Structure 1
Amino acid sequence: MVFDHLAHEALAERHTLILDHYEARKKQADGALKDAVPYKPVPPDLLYLSPENLIASLGPREAIDFTAFDAPDAGAKKVFRAGSRHGRSFVEERADPNANVFDVVVKHISDERAGRRRVIVAGWTEGSLDRLGQILVEHHLGNLKPVATLAEAERLEPGQAALAVLPLESGFETEKLVVVAEQDILGDRLIRRSKRKKRASDFIAEASALSSGDIVVHADHGIGRFIGLRTIEAVGAPHDCLEIHYAGDDRLFLPVENIELLSRYGSDSAEATLDKLGGGAWQSRKARLKKRLLDMAGQLIRIAAERQMRAAPALVPAEGLYGEFAARFPYEETDDQQTAIDSVMDDLGAGKPMDRLICGDVGFGKTEVALRAAFIGAMEGFQVAIVVPTTLLSRQHFKTFSQRFSGLPIRVAQASRLVGAKELAETKKGIAEGQIDIVVGTHALLGSSISFKNLGLLIIDEEQHFGVKHKERLKDLKTDVHVLTLSATPIPRTLQLALTGVRELSLIATPPVDRLAVRTFISPFDPLVIRETLLRERYRGGHSFYVVPRISDLAEIHDFLRESVPELKVAVAHGQMPPGELDDIMNAFYDGQYDVLLSTTIVESGLDIPTANTLIVHRADMFGLSQLYQLRGRVGRSKVRAYALFTLPANRKLTDTAERRLKVLQSLDTLGAGFQLASHDLDIRGAGNLLGEEQSGHIKEVGFELYQQMLEEAVAEVKDSGEVQDGGWSPQIAVGTAVMIPESYVPDLQLRLALYRRLGDLENTEEIDAFGAELIDRFGPLPEEVEHLLKIVFIKALCRKANVEKLDAGPKGVVIHFRKREFPNPVGLVKLIGEQGSLAKIRPDQSVVFSRDWATPEKRLAGSAVVMTQLARLVEKAA
């Protein structure tokens, strides 16, 4: 066994810690709190060896130090010099648009092999290495042997090349060995992070997977009940299908590659009535709804068009002054942030009312976008109003705006209940007379007693917290002014307006440099864990939030904290306190006079305290998904790793919704997940009313997911943008081969269904390759049936592009049926058939036959892909 540096000290320290934990558990009060976990600790000597016993059992040992420099200890018995250095990184070739990096890599590897050095190409995972190996083989690099370890690689013959899975971010070279890392070839895109980000969005697809008994909607056949996966024989080969039951015990078996025709009905499935398979009721209902949706889309577009027709002041910044103001921003803008700023500046200068939603995680720089927009508006002589949901956020924004605008001829004021009556009266007067340029406030700004002399820009922060009346007042204000909305998790209705293209949307999904994701833990309520968590934060010089769902919980938790962590100073805050008292507490906490802020969800919106890096939420099951996400965003706003602990009652079963909500939140621990979370919320809750009550009736007719898709299509159709998505069809492909994810490969039924659901959304080669690589990483080498399934999905994507409704491939060739008997490039098709001679012909029913000799399923799959690629290229030429 090899001991690392200071291993013995670490062992002794660990043993002491174990003993301390045991003593603390023993002393824990029997009935600390009703939600606490009952513990009966096991004595450490029954679980662990003592350091002395461990070392005695290991016998003689040797400590080895690893260093990048010369041996620091001149008297060391043995010094081993590895003699390695950094390898080639191919940076210049990647940056050159005219260079092919793979050709350069292949030449480099060939040269090294010619010099009798062994070469290893290192991939991050099995999947990515598999893809990389295929690309290198395509670029004529042969004889690549897979190896499992560096030791195995060193046994290679000199001049041989190999592939290995190694967690390297850059390559290296020794006298006899050259290692080229995946990132050297593909770029410095930190594979681990991109993989985690991908998994976050994939999790939402997997979390919304179908379960047996779910009410589903088939685009062609209507509402049915999903029963489960069935493997049936199709053209002599096993094929996975989804079994759906309809009224009258009718059954439909849908091939898994066409799963995108299915959507979940939504949250009100108990009220759904099953359709009759083959009956006309569904099609007529769908047609009626499409007509109504076109009317609604027309109304939405009309509202947006009327807004565009109105004139609004064109606000263009003075170059020198704006540059100076932007230079006051102490950080470097992220790419997303700069794009959002540019979009806002373009909107402001267009002479039409801006209506833009900036969606970005807490702390990702939305406020900076607002500051720059406010600067442009105020310097052009117009008033700017920033409306926020809470007094705390108002105070914080007021402070931020005052600091950034100090020294400029711009007057910033605040209007909220934290401002005294006399000062508020002066502020109102200043707004009415135009003496105040920028005002930050709560819904007090929306009161009828406030009138603006020359309002040019309205900035709304965290609009999901405003009530209906306040939103109506906002509508009145918004008629001919520029509007900028900021939100981390927008309300579903707002998000739907943005996704359907009615509102402009800017996403800031890139975290600031050095920002770390918040570590999220979910556990039963445990006094000892809470004590350790709070003390650990205190000892590293930070502060903690402790959030409870109800005001009535504050007293109990306050007593618990006084008893469990008497070393810490605890402040209590809630929204029903007198404004002055609340402000004093928040100021004191901000200034570091308290270690813990115990509060209700008053800290949910926008509060920015960089030293607060631990959050504990009591009874997390009582909060909504968006609320929990916002709360978690209150910590982790500096370069220090932050922690969020969501506690649950120890002896109560969670509802399914609460459990699912917490699972989603724990999985979305990447930075920038707020937009995905809002999309998930939209999926669970529905969008609310876009224009009125009747919308919910429409959703009941076809289910939420299909309704959303139909609305997007209707909006695109009314816009006449040429992007109408005819989404209600899916190509049928038969090649007489096994198409499935075998149970032996992915045993979990729910997970198989989730993977099929994700498969239905894949649209191009890159996505299909990445999905295949992920399967290899998660479940091992792909079985033949899965390889065939991925090829079928690729052919299906080509079929959609070429308007092919059905493809039948057999030993003698392939028959292709076009949807509605139409092909977008008929002249090109006739020419292609003419070039084929007797090997291709058009039938009377307008289908096309290509005669081929395809004896095996592999030949049929490869040949069908070639034919469909030709047809897809013809369509591209016609466009």
Structure 2
Amino acid sequence: GAADAYITWRIHRAAGMPVVLAVPDSSEAARLVDDLRFFAGREAFDDIALFPSYDLASFRSVSYNIRTAGERIALLYRISQGLLPSVTVVPVDSLIQRLVPTEKLTGFAMSIDEGQEIDRDALVARRVAGGYERTPVVEEVGDFSVRGSIIDLFSPFHEQPVRIDFMGDTVESINFFSPVTQRRSRQTNSILVLPAREVVIEKKSMGRIISSVKKRAGALGLPVSASREIIRKMEQNELIDGIENLMPLIYPSTSTFFDYLPSDTCLVFLQPENMRHAAETKAARALENYNSAKKDGKLCVGPDDLYISWQDVADSVRERPLLMFSMLADASLEQMLGRRVLSRRINVFDNTSTSAMLHVGKNDGNRAIAPLLSWIKDNRHAGAASVVVCGSRARQERVEKLFELNDFKVVTVDDFTGLKNSGSAVYVVPGAVSSGFNFYDERIAIISDAEIFGTPLKRHKKKEKSLRDECLDLDTLRQGDLVVHVDHGIGRYEGIEKIKVDGVTNDFLLITYRDGDRLYLSVDRMDLARKYVGAGDIAPPLDKMGGKSWARTKARAKKEVEKIAKELLSLYARRKVSQGRSFTPPEEWLRDFEAGFPFEETEDQRRVIEEVLSDMQSPVPMDRLVCGDVGYGKTEIAMRASFVCVSEGMQVAVLVPTTVLAEQHFATFSERFSGFPVNIAALSRFRSVREQKKIVADLKEGRLDIVIGTHRLLSKDVQFKELGLVVLDEEQRFGVRHKEALKKLRTTVDVLSLTATPIPRTLHMSLMGVRDISVITTPPERRRSIKTYICEFDDAIIRTAVRKELERGGQIFFVHNNIHKIHFIANHIQKLVPEARLGIAHGRMTPESLENEMMRFVNREIDMLVCTRIIESGIDIPSANTIFINRADMFGLAQLYQLRGRVGRADEQAYAYLFIPKESALGRDAQKRLKVLMEHSDLGSGFQIAMNDLKIRGGGSALGVSQSGHISA
């Protein structure tokens, strides 16, 4: 916990030298990095580093996460140059993995300076050898592009990509630029270009590498075809998924993490007995996967060629400075090290007993503060300073008020490094630690707000650079795409041609029509044409210029649209001119309600809350769309709006797409409103007839303040006494008629829609100004990006990933969207991982069976849920952090994003495995969807994905029930 981080940081400060902290697993490593950054303070925040593991099954053809690769390479290079961070945290998986040889990494590193002469062709060839991918636009680490005299590339060493302008072969200028807007941000004189992956395949080594590949294939008794495709890709400079698993065939020798470290580096092993167990487990799994790969006829190398053993670790640290934190003396380690291990007892105690007695709830005031005051008095008696760590501004104010009421003087500091360590002082520090502790030898005792209030904590964290803060319009038109001209109809785009008119050369889009008709459209009149988007896969016939077919098509579409246009637009018009209810937020009560929120609001969240409350205070009925990634706090915004509504005696209707989500929201709302006189109920088909009748009656009589339900709320028997607010959650799951039916309950009602990836039609209307839109792009402070892998269906990947999740006490989703084969898949998985408790869920089960199965998963009675995409909507299970999506190519972009969003809701690292057929069998749109999903694995990208979906599918008719395709007639 946090005590380990504190001691490690003190060791670094006392020794005045860098420390490498080795830990049993990746989750512990991530927690320790956060704790270390708290103790190091803002000044040294960036000098705490993590050497991440790939978290992948060995011997599998899976694309390694390019960002993880970039982080590893940048850190290895930094260490190789003697620039060790103050503390580097390394999980065992990374510690035992064989690495790119130090001389290869440093040899490939290339400095590019302004004014330098460089062979551009050689530079491009070198990027390809280093694992860079040539792309039209540079957005991610490892991308590069060439446009005339400009080369853009994204080196792992830098936080932004660079744009290099050449004059001939001379570097004229170097500029960093935004991967979002593609605009230059600042100029620089020099950059460092590192390989993008750990495997560098240089042309001069190609003969030896091919010979090694063939020799290994022969040793395994594999046919020539087993190595032919890999050799072809190497010769063609194509990226090879999982090539890191063949590293010993690429390099004559490999390095270990210890080879990169200076010999006098201070090493700290956290729980060496657990580290050894983790290393041995990894070795056993690697052997199992190796045997499986051999059996499947795959080209692979032995586990010993990819990992070092625990004995190798012991040998590597024998002559190095080594400290170990252990609950017990490990005699076997002494034996392996061949030297005596000196031990010293450190008296550090946790806050378990104090925390158990502390029940300062949402509205308990100072009634339960006695244990906290007693804790402070004990610390003073021991001569230790008391430090209360608060994860939010609201929590900090609450703590300060509690102490003030009890005549305790507190000192508030901005940073842990600001402590003076006075034995009698009580400090309040913003931030978060994983757990508190009492370390009287150091005269310090720490307690977290989570231990005081009994609710989750948030970490003070440097805002992660977001590649998605703005919308990027890269709507590329490719030769052969169908386009629609406003006057001439559907034609085929054939490219851009330069034509001289009246002595002036201009660019024109060439569009061909039926019978060879050609239209040259000036680029300054591109607004007259747009990309064709239609339903289905059948391409429409081309129109004839001057013909009548396009006019007939427009007439049919117009007639279809007008059926709904008057009703729908008049509703929006009435809402804009109607005098709705103008709410006045009750300041004192609202402050109390806000203080009950256990997390620090993000800047985006605060802005959106202000926008929503401002709308509610306006006499014009609110119609706002809040778009934010799953788990970004949209529900809290809805609850604040609901609180304002019910505080004035009005009712709230919360419409959700599924019964399970209704039950979860009911539990969330009930807990959040527990200290206030608010009556809440859930109305769905799973309530008994008697219960439903009572809820309906209570709504009509005004005895219910908030009702949460599925489309059952739209039934004719449901009437409200005084409806003030409608909340639509996961609105993309409802049809237009469902949503409009709810709005028609009253044109004066405020409507708040919540979505992670709004369907294109909804987004289209918002961007046109028909509706107001609020976007939340800032992630909660402990959320991590979901590591996404795209690969073919593989038993070893399933087995390894499931066991890894079970070992950390987590749960797993396996999405298989074919009901007929779902039991076959479940049986197959059960054979692979017999220890896992499996459940099955799909839409053809009876409502009772489906609810029971989902609730068993929610209650953790089963470990793994094999299901259809019924889980797409809003189900919130923080313990589920691994998801498999079978035949991911069959899903839409928003569906994939929603499915992936079912995991990663806690502070654990989440993983998504997208199983697809061979890439050659994928359709063009499927490839595009999966590429977008991989590109947008960073947090806060739901809105950006919706924009891509808008490009791929079209916006839907603003005046029709069609939710994709501008007009399909």
TM-fit CA distance, 1:642: 0.9
Aligned residues of 1:18 and 1:44 also touching (Cα < 8 A): no
TM-fit CA distance, 1:661: 1.7
TM-fit CA distance, 1:468: 5.5
The CA distance in 2 between the partners of 1:583 and 1:434, in whole Å, is: 29
Amino acid at match of 2:930: L
Instruction: Name the counterpart of 1:526.
Output: 794
SS at the partner of 2:744?
Answer: helix
TM-fit CA distance, 1:674: 1.5
TM-fit CA distance, 1:419: 2.1
TM-fit CA distance, 1:663: 1.7
Aligned in 2, Cα 1:201/1:553: closer, same or farther, shift over 3 Å? farther
Instruction: Calculate the TM-score normalised by the size of structure 1.
Output: 0.56
The CA distance in 2 between the partners of 1:545 and 1:697, in whole Å, is: 32
TM-fit CA distance, 1:371: 0.2
Instruction: Name the counterpart of 1:24.
Output: 289
Instruction: Name the counterpart of 1:396.
Output: 664
Amino acid at match of 1:465: R
Residue deviations 1:608-667, cap 9 Å, x none? 111211111122122222111111111111222211111124598222222222222122
SS at the partner of 1:306?
Answer: helix
For 1:814-829, list aligned pairs within 5 A.
Answer: none
The CA distance in 2 between the partners of 1:247 and 1:287, in whole Å, is: 20
Q: Structure 2 residue aligned with 1:686, among 940, 949, 954?
A: 954
Deviates more, 1:611-620 or 1:280-289: 280-289
SS at the partner of 1:512?
Answer: coil
Aligned residues of 1:525 and 1:647 also touching (Cα < 8 A): yes
Aligned in 2, Cα 1:537/1:233: closer, same or farther, shift over 3 Å? farther
Instruction: Name the counterpart of 2:881.
Output: 613
2:855 aligned with 1:587: yes
Instruction: Name the counterpart of 1:313.
Output: 581
2:468 aligned with 1:197: yes
Instruction: Name the counterpart of 1:214.
Output: 481
The CA distance in 2 between the partners of 1:272 and 1:253, in whole Å, is: 20
Aligned in 2, Cα 1:63/1:251: closer, same or farther, shift over 3 Å? farther
2:492 aligned with 1:225: yes
Q: Structure 1 residue aligned with 2:845, among 555, 566, 577?
A: 577
Q: Structure 2 residue aligned with 1:355, among 610, 616, 623?
A: 623
The CA distance in 1 between the partners of 2:522 and 2:775, in whole Å, is: 36
SS at the partner of 1:197?
Answer: coil
The CA distance in 2 between the partners of 1:220 and 1:351, in whole Å, is: 43
Residue deviations 1:168-212, cap 9 Å, x none? xxxxxxxxxxxxxxxxxxxx9989824x337x954x72xx42222
Instruction: Name the counterpart of 1:776.
Output: none
Amino acid at match of 1:362: V
SS at the partner of 1:486?
Answer: strand
2:638 aligned with 1:638: no
Residue deviations 1:311-361, cap 9 Å, x none? 322221211011111111111212222222112112212223221111111
**Any unmatched runs of 5+ in structure 2?**
1-101, 103-258, 324-338, 340-459
For 1:233-312, list aligned pairs within 5 A.
Answer: 243-245=510-512, 249=516, 263-267=530-534, 270-271=539-540, 273-274=542-543, 276=545, 302-312=570-580
SS at the partner of 1:628?
Answer: helix
Aligned in 2, Cα 1:42/1:270: closer, same or farther, shift over 3 Å? closer
Q: Which has the higher helix share?
A: 1
Instruction: Calculate the TM-score normalised by the size of structure 2.
Output: 0.51
Aligned residues of 2:657 and 2:733 also touching (Cα < 8 A): yes
Instruction: Name the counterpart of 1:566.
Output: 834
Aligned residues of 2:283 and 2:303 also touching (Cα < 8 A): no
Aligned residues of 2:651 and 2:720 also touching (Cα < 8 A): yes
Instruction: Name the counterpart of 1:499.
Output: 767
The CA distance in 1 between the partners of 2:968 and 2:694, in whole Å, is: 52
Aligned residues of 1:248 and 1:276 also touching (Cα < 8 A): no
2:639 aligned with 1:371: yes
The CA distance in 2 between the partners of 1:694 and 1:434, in whole Å, is: 37
Q: Structure 1 residue aligned with 2:943, among 675, 691, 702?
A: 675
SS at the partner of 1:554?
Answer: helix
Instruction: Name the counterpart of 1:131.
Output: none
Aligned residues of 2:814 and 2:885 also touching (Cα < 8 A): yes
Q: Structure 1 residue aligned with 2:785, among 489, 511, 517?
A: 517
**Any unmatched runs of 5+ in structure 1?**
31-37, 67-74, 76-187, 702-879
Amino acid at match of 1:216: V
Q: Which structure has the larger Rg?
A: 1
TM-fit CA distance, 1:570: 1.6
Instruction: Name the counterpart of 2:260.
Output: 3
| Relative contact order, higher structure (CA 8 A, sep 6+) | 1
Instruction: Name the counterpart of 1:819.
Output: none
TM-fit CA distance, 1:690: 3.0
TM-fit CA distance, 1:584: 3.7
TM-fit CA distance, 1:235: 11
Instruction: Name the counterpart of 2:825.
Output: 557
Aligned in 2, Cα 1:40/1:12: closer, same or farther, shift over 3 Å? farther
- RMSD (CA atoms): 4.8
Q: Structure 1 residue aligned with 2:732, among 450, 461, 464?
A: 464
Instruction: Name the counterpart of 2:803.
Output: 535
Amino acid at match of 2:662: S
Q: Structure 1 residue aligned with 2:895, among 627, 633, 658?
A: 627
2:40 aligned with 1:40: no
SS at the partner of 2:468?
Answer: helix
Amino acid at match of 2:941: A
Instruction: Name the counterpart of 1:421.
Output: 689
Q: Structure 1 residue aligned with 2:754, among 479, 486, 510?
A: 486
Identity %: 42
The CA distance in 1 between the partners of 2:485 and 2:659, in whole Å, is: 48
